[in-house]
Structure 1
């Protein structure tokens, strides 16, 4: 029989979608104050996978990922999603979000995203938040699942997530 154990420490990241770079940098500052030092940040890249966010954010929409040095507990991701929703609300204008902030984490075996939206492949984790395993680590690389968002499945982002996993692995090494 297995015994319950404490959640693992994992590498926190925030996926961002935005139009206005000034709003991105304001959100980045708030995120850094809340979650600590940024250890890796992706370059901005145009995001054109759907029109879902256009009414709120406008267009063209840019995507960036921010990775944090301070490891967090897997069990904290629901509360982190609530905090990022509060930041989105704080930065909203005229009732519309100016930035979308999606927290997730990287462990050795998977990349997990937190969301407020339920669906067949998502598991309820508390406080109105669901989680999904977006990528699995197999054969020395992250691999998409059937429901993985298309941008997360792209080679450029797979390379970024593999790099972030390598950094995470180094952070797990005992300190002398």
Structure 2
């Protein structure tokens, strides 16, 4: 029988999806204030794998991934997802507020983590690779 143990810390990553390239930097600044410095960021890439966000965000979606210097406990992921959902909908940065038409969110933020053994991305959408994270 295996022993129960606390897992090692993990590398926090956050995926951003939007149709407005300008928002990547604005939201990066908000996330840095909350989670600390970014150590690695991906190039902007086309996100055309699904039409899920099309009605909300428009066409020509782009994705960018950010990795943060500070390591997290793996069990913090549910709390971090709640925080990123709040950031999507309740922007404190005036530059972002001024660019939000009709108070609709303009970006999707999905946090996750990387360890030596796995890549986990938190999402509120149901699916075969989704796991319950102890929050309603």
- Which TM-score applies when normalising by structure 1? 0.67
Per the alignment, residue 154 of structure 1 pairs with: none
Distance 1:120 1:63 in 2: 22
CA 1:33 to 1:126, structure 2 compared with 1: closer, same or farther past 3 Å?
Answer: same
Aligned length: 128
Query: Relative contact order (C-alpha < 8 Å, sep 6+): which is higher?
Result: 2
- Quote the Cα distance in structure 2 between the aligned partners of 1:106 and 1:121: 15
Distance 2:125 2:37 in 1: 29
Q: Hey, what does 1:113 align to over in structure 2?
A: 121
Q: Specify the SS of the correspondent of 1:115.
A: coil
For the Cα contact (< 8 Å) 2:111–2:122, is it kept in 1? Answer: yes
The structure carrying a bigger strand percent of its residues is 1
Classify the secondary structure of the residue corresponding to 2:122: strand
Partner of 1:89: 89
Q: Distance in 1 between matches of 2:60 and 2:130?
A: 29
Quick check: 67-76 or 114-123, which moved more?
114-123
Mapping 1:79-158, distance limit 5 Å: 79-91=79-91, 93-128=101-136
CA RMSD of aligned residues (A): 1.6
Q: Which runs of 5+ in 1 are unaligned?
A: 129-176
2:97 aligned partner: none
Cα 1:49–1:96 change in 2 (3 A) is same
The runs of 5 or more residues in structure 2 that have no matched partner are 92-99
- The alignment's TM-score, normalised by the length of structure 2, stands at 0.85
Cα separation, 2, equivalents of 1:10 and 1:112: 10
Residues 1:74 and 1:42: Cα distance change in structure 2 (over 3 Å): same
